Amino acid sequence: MTDLLEGEYEPSAAQWVRDQVATYEATGGKEGNILRGRADWPIVVVTSRGSKSGKLRKNPVMRVEKDGVYVAIASYGGGPRNPTWVANFLADPVVQLQDGPEPALYRARLVEGDERQQWWDLAVATWSTYATYQEKTDRQIPVFVLEPISD
């Protein structure tokens, strides 16, 4: 089995994120697996290493998956800035993803051009709110592909 990320965990400043991650991890993804109680908004938990602190950071991310590869959309609700985890992924692309009871290591890769469009289209087909978020911001929302790291 591939080792998992190790280090000091620094919980999110946002209480709802701390609560969701704690519930998800404590139940092996059986609870806390939907964003803010919406049955049609499934999530996974992604752990990255802080680009400045080096501490582990955990975030619920909408579940967009195809053939064992996941997509992380840095929408930040259509806000003007990227979520902080974008800098984390760029500084250290090895992340831990938990989709159910067992976390595993993945390599996060920023995609662009036609490849970005293909993954973006899948994300919007999975969760149409992403299109609304893109309309709300002038920045192009970053799209990361998370590919499993094999032993």
pLDDT tens column, 27-74? 999 999 998 766 778 999 999 999 999 999 999 999 999 999 999 999
Average pLDDT rounded to a whole number, residues 72-83 = 95
Contact status, residue 133 vs residue 142, Cβ threshold 8 Å: no
Gap between the Cα atoms of 15 and 129, Å rounded? 23
Q: pTM for the whole thing?
A: 0.93
For the chain, how many residues are written?
Answer: 151
Please answer whether residues 32 and 24 qualify as being in contact, where contact means their C-beta atoms are separated by less than 8 angstroms: yes
pLDDT at 41: 83
Q: What's the CATH class of domain 15-148?
A: mainly beta
Domain ranges of the chain: 15-148
Do residues 71 and 145 make contact, with C-beta atoms less than 8 angstroms apart? yes
Q: Is the pLDDT of residue 104 over 90?
A: yes
Rounded to 5 degrees, what angle do the CA atoms 106, 58, 75 make? 80
Burial of 51 (0-12, 13-18, 19+ CB in 10 A): middle
Q: Which of 36-50, 93-107, 131-145 has the lowest mean pLDDT?
A: 36-50
The reported pLDDT for the residue numbered 2 is: 54
Report residue 49 as tokens.
């290493």
Q: Is 103 exposed, middle or buried (0-12, 13-18, 19+ CB in 10 A)?
A: buried
Locate tokens 């806000």: which residue? 79
Q: What percent of the chain has pLDDT over 70?
A: 96
